[in-house]
Structure 1
């Protein structure tokens, strides 16, 4: 049952009770008219409570019909907080209750009538203020709960920011130091050696180390910026950086195909990171092999295929938890795509990324 139907049922019940109290069948014409006006205007008490209360007073004074006035008085107490207004309405209700049958002799029964006339309007006033206070307390409790939840979130963010800062510091102090030593030693080797192959390999190692340091610096900045509303994130790679990535990979790579114009930066980052991870795996698991990067699209899906030939040099076993491929699958899943890998018949390897691009063109992404 929705709120409107519930309110209509409540109004109908209250009007019926007030009509019974007014004794419409036996009322004189003047009392009957005043009672009908009071009953008709009761549904408006939520919008104009003071006006409705004033309109019900004639019925109270003429015929002693009290229920309609008490209902209106309850609405005044519920919706208005002015003490003087409430006292004034209570006095008027008391006067209207006393007026029909009270003479000026002030007998004992008249005193009881006055006492009853004071208590009767006081009840809806106190009840209305009680319900009003309960509603305010409920709202304040909700505000307190929201404030506590917000405080809990802020505390969690502060702890997370502290942990990220510590992690960024460790990455900078430990990893960057080791990679810097690799770059320095590779540079020294490329200068001192006379073997062309060794010189080329050392120079590739130096370039990769420098690129790794640059990526590490970006990651450290991202970690330090997380949770801060005033620090902007570092620029992320896009498809315009692919040629530089392939040229610096140290792998003989052939690139074919192009991506459609206007794809958003989230798709571009996913393509870039997929190709980057695939070329990294080629360096680790297929040294000496060549790679191909093919980008194709058919208007609805975009496919990026990175394949490589088998290794031509001995493979150095390196620790791996396959986190890179899992990360690529998670990136693709966020965009509604998939990543599939398989081994080729000649011993090579192939990684294929498929992303839906329909409806994602010309959409900017943060």
Structure 2
């Protein structure tokens, strides 16, 4: 629950209005000296926030010559809520008490009696009330600031704990990738190299060379990924050298399937859009190679009325697909990437037994 406070100008106007009402009640119009002092005290409240001590001192003459004391009490409260000088507050309270007890211009200089003592105690209590209230408000304000500092420190501590946990998880993941995945991909590259050297079949030699090249490329990306994970967020690093449209032809040529690429795109597309197009084509060709052996593919990329349209279509497979492991996260990731850029991804089988993947993105998309 948040506290609702009056705006500062409205609060100042209300205090000055109350002080003027106090003047109207306690000071007659035929007493020019008292009226001038009382009005000056009321207007002195305009200075209470910036020059609180001066504002209080300007209200004392009104207390000395009249019963209009509201302005002095308001100024004393403001001074107590802003200053940390306790001796000054005691002196100001004593000054108010003495001024309130003095009947100027005819002060009573006789010996103190019971009524005088009672009046002094009453005046001192009247002066102490705004002092204590102002100090209470100051303590509450300090406590609120302290609580805010503690809360901020707690949030920072939680952030550090979360970053530490994340760093440990990233280090564990980097270790697993280095010890397991990199080792297995290295074996694939070595076996492919041995097959490339040991066979005389040109087709097998070409396939082995492709496998070896892709394995080496994957190893390079894995090593870079491991180094990024081990950094644990200590510095800003790209996960891999990010692909662009200039890499599309090489991607299609090295996909391991017969594919045709046609592009009609303007210059100046953002790196984010180029990366989304590349990853979409990469995922579609990978799925074709895995799930539609022997199929051919066609990649059509064009620009139409401010939108980028990417369509990858493959024919029906000519032989059964091998049972390869898959988490089925590829298309989900493509849809999420497209949604972040304001686009859509649709996919589904074609009438001839093939499959089609369609991406539509705004040409000026930014992450």
Same fold by TM-score greater than 0.5: yes
* Partners of 1:305 and 1:352 within 8 A in 2: yes
SS in 2 for 1:100: coil
2:65 paired residue among 62, 65, 68: 62
The equivalent of 1:103 in structure 2 is 108
Which structure 2 residues correspond to residues 143-162 of structure 1 after superposition, within 5 A?
143-162=149-168
What is the match of residue 316 of structure 1?
A: 322
Aligned pairs for 1:175-190 (under 5 A) are 175-190=181-196
Quick check: 166-175 or 114-123, which moved more? 114-123
Q: TM-score, normalised by structure 1?
A: 0.89
> Counterpart in 2 of 1:203?
209
1:267–1:230 distance in 2 versus 1, CA, 3 Å: closer
Decide which moves more: 212-221 or 298-307.
212-221
**Counterpart check, 1:344 vs 2:346:** no
Whether the aligned pair in 2 keeps the contact of 1:90 and 1:121 (CA below 8 Å) is yes
Partner of 1:306: 312
Unaligned runs of 5+ in 1: none
Q: What secondary structure does 1:293 align onto? A: strand
CA apart distance, 1:145: 0.8
1:112 Cα deviation after fit = 3.0
Structure 1 range deviating more: 300-309 or 22-31: 22-31
Alpha-carbon distance between aligned partners in 2 of 1:216 and 1:191, rounded to the nearest angstrom = 26
Deviations 1:42-87 (A, max 9, x none): 2442233222212211111110322210111000111222334323
Which consecutive residues of structure 2, in runs of 5 or more, have no partner in the other structure? none
287-296 or 34-43: which moved more? 34-43
**CA RMSD between the two structures:** 2.4
Aligned to 2:84: 81
Query: Does structure 1 retain, via aligned residues, the 8 Å contact 2:27–2:68?
Result: no
Does the 8 A contact of 2:225 with 2:239 survive in 1?
no
Which secondary structure does the structure 1 equivalent of 2:103 belong to?
Answer: helix
Q: 1:261 & 1:121 partners in 2: Cα distance?
A: 79
- Give the 3-state SS of the residue equivalent to 2:317 in structure 1: coil
Match of 2:130 among 106, 124, 141: 124
Secondary structure of the 2:255 match is: coil
How high is the TM-score relative to the length of structure 2? 0.89
Residues 184 and 162 (structure 1), Cα distance of their counterparts in 2 relative to 1, 3 Å cut: same
Determine which of 267, 270, 275 is the counterpart of 2:273: 267
